[in-house]
Amino acid sequence: MNFDFSEDQKLLQKTARDFLVEHAPLQANRDVLESGKEWSPELWKGTAQMGWQGAAIPEEFGGAGFGYLELALIATEIGRSLAPIPFGPSVYLATEAILLAGTDTQKKKWLTALASGQAVGTLALAEGPGFPSPASLKTSFAGGKLTGRKIGVPCGNFATVAVVAAKSGAGVTLALVDLAAAGVTRTPTDSIDPTQPTAELAFKDAPAERLGDEGRGFELLEKVLDRAAVLLGFEQLGGAERAFEITRDFTLGRYAFGRPIASFQALKHRMADEYVALELAKSNCYWGAWALSTNDAELALAAPAARVSASQAFDLTSVEMVQMHGGVGFTWEYDCHLFYRRAKHQSLVLGTASHWREKLVQRLAAKSAA
């Protein structure tokens, strides 16, 4: 397979980069961090006006109708800029769930609002340590009412709508909840990246609608997470590439013993390791983008491959960024910690790399046995 993006798609990526260079330099991330705010509503409004939140949403529901390849390139630039907006939870998770399983009424109501940026979506899944299973879920959904507790919900303290995994009489069902409704309580929780905040959501007979077929929620959830793994993989790839570039430029300009430190063999080898990790992640993310855009069955393998390799690449480049900057790499004034925070947050938001690695092994085994 010889996959690449078209010239028009690359032009869209350049437009996105130019917009974010102007409106979301790294200082914008730092401004949110230092002000105690949780995100930038102004930037969110600007990206909505560019049509990014609705990139993969059909025009009939207020979207731009571009497609997943275009969304993947936008995600790359979101990652490069460390944009302090809830793009992943709203676009990769909530929007995708509603696109996959929403009724026409649900789509008209929520996709239009999500595409315009008037609404912010999220996915409420975790209830305790480890990745949840159908047997471990305690949140219940019955008679249009939702009761339970979810932790670590991305942007849960200001999101508008949530897709919630809950048990019902027929098994696991996904519920769609307006977070402004009665019976919903939000409690902000600490996040390693304060520009990507999390919250605990408590539901007590909160009104909710079923999303998709009753009892088929975990199957739907797997599809949503596979799609999100590819899209978030591109965002991680963008952050990793930017961290690598900043570190490379720093080592080329920093001198020790009369030579740039980039000329030292120990640093050369470490930068080479980073480059290999980046190229592996790029290859797997491209595979995932192709499978997602064509709705190919290979997405089942491409998604975990993209998730694992992108997480590894961003983790490695962010750690080495701190190390290779020497003493200043540990200071607040340098931007290294911004990349480290984002890398650690994104490595956990859909489940750990080890969880996705195990998922890849299981799916490979199942394919071999078929």
pLDDT in tens, 287-302: 999 999 999 999 999 9
Mean pLDDT of 76-83: 98
Q: Are residues 224 and 306 in the same domain?
A: yes
DSSP string, 342-361: HHHHHTTBTB-HHHHHHHHH
CB contact set of 317 (below 8 Å; sequence gap of 6+): 239, 240, 241, 243, 244, 247, 274, 277, 278, 339, 343
- pLDDT of amino acid 198: 97
Among residues of the chain, what percentage have pLDDT more than 90? 91
| 2 in any annotated domain | no
Mean pLDDT over all residues of the chain? Answer: 95
pLDDT in tens, 227-264: 999 999 999 999 999 999 999 999 999 888 888 888 89
| Best CA proximity match to 316, nearest among 290, 344, 287 | 344
Q: Are residues 240 and 144 in the same domain?
A: no
Q: How many domains does the chain have?
A: 3
Would you say 298 and 291 are in contact if contact means Cβ atoms under 8 Å apart? yes
- pLDDT of amino acid 1: 58
Would you say 313 and 236 are in contact if contact means Cβ atoms under 8 Å apart? yes
Q: Are residues 222 and 322 in the same domain?
A: yes
pLDDT in tens, 18-61: 999 999 999 999 999 898 888 999 999 999 999 999 999 999 99
- Give the residue, 80 or 129, on which the prediction is more confident: 80
Which amino acid does the sequence have at 63?
A: G
Q: Are residues 205 and 231 in the same domain?
A: no
**Predicted confidence (pLDDT) at residue 77 exceeds the cutoff of 70:** yes
Q: Are residues 230 and 268 in the same domain?
A: yes
CATH number of the structural domain spanning residue 59: 1.10.540.10
DSSP state of 150: E
Long-range Cβ pairs for the range 101-108 (8 Å, 24+): 101/174, 101/211, 101/212, 101/213, 101/220, 102/176, 102/211, 102/212, 106/176, 106/209, 106/211, 107/61, 108/61
Q: How confident is the model at residue 144 (pLDDT cuts 50, 70, 90)?
A: very high
**Predicted confidence (pLDDT) at residue 169 exceeds the cutoff of 90:** no
The domain in which residue 22 lies consists of 7-116
**Predicted confidence (pLDDT) at residue 2 exceeds the cutoff of 80:** no
Cα gap 241→243, rounded to integer Å: 5
pLDDT in tens, 193-209: 999 999 999 999 999 99
Among 155, 186, 213, the domain-final residue is 213
- pLDDT of amino acid 37: 87
Structure tokens at 36: 């105690």
Among 213, 241, 258, the domain-final residue is 213
Q: Are residues 60 and 163 in the same domain?
A: no
